[in-house]
Structure 1
């Protein structure tokens, strides 16, 4: 199926990083934010949690559209080796606690994404990436928090930002850690939606 400029994709996310990645790939889309309650259920594991959030975000936005629009949603979390879910920090102390947990350890980044149309699920996937932090000092943690960068990011860090120097190795999709496993998403958008990369030439 070839790219169709009439195909309308709705990105159900407020993330500037997801927006930038899709723009860089030449994918036409409109942003509509879903405001769901992102709270893990009791005994809910990371995989189930991001999968549920992706589906609920897509469905919440899909209710606003009735003309065959495709809804792309995503959710990203950090999970420690003890299977503790780390989302966005609530405050300075919360961010510090997360970064101390990540220091010198390997953690898992999970992104769930869904594509819906007419309230029907086309595909939902969960993609894994393993990230290893070097040992980081309390001084580095405090200085990093003072930049303000941790506060809108799962696990209190951004791989593409000032925290890149904390990262010893990455196993899996790099863009997954940024919030969207872009390669997987682009393949599914072409396969299921019929939109090809670089079908638009907008700046990003």
Structure 2
């Protein structure tokens, strides 16, 4: 019997072709990974900023609803060894302008038992969380929704409070990096505003989002 004719298009991949394909794949990954890392950092910042914004809005709403001061503070962690800090990844809110939750951050949420915790930040004590750097560790809203003074620590009701949210391992666009950091600004009147410090208010298109 004669040899079976080879069917067209039926051949294997040569070693050279495989190496070329792997090289192209490697180059593509090298191009994609930095972009993915930037996207991930930006997502972490956005998530942290929106979580904190929600916490501030809830603290203000509870202060108005209860007609009593409600405070929110940045904390070192969510354990019962927590301290109040001006730079951290977690926060809690509680009743009373003079009640500090330090060393009690893992307490059950309760408006009848000290430290009267109302809410705590979502997520775990992870070093991958976006960092919150605040102009002061603690603020409080009064029954009219305005900032009010606190004790433990002592804060003023007349100063605007700014929370800067940045990502670990990233540099903000405003500092010539590639991470879109965000700010939350709380005015003495209680207005809570999320803004982008890398944008200029001089540009009409960016004015609403600029800090």
Which of 1 and 2 has higher RCO (CA within 8 Å, sep 6+)? Answer: 1
The structure carrying a bigger helix percent of its residues is: 1
- Compute the TM-score of the two structures, normalised by the length of structure 1: 0.29
Where is the strand percentage greater, Structure 1 or Structure 2? Answer: 1
Larger Rg: 2
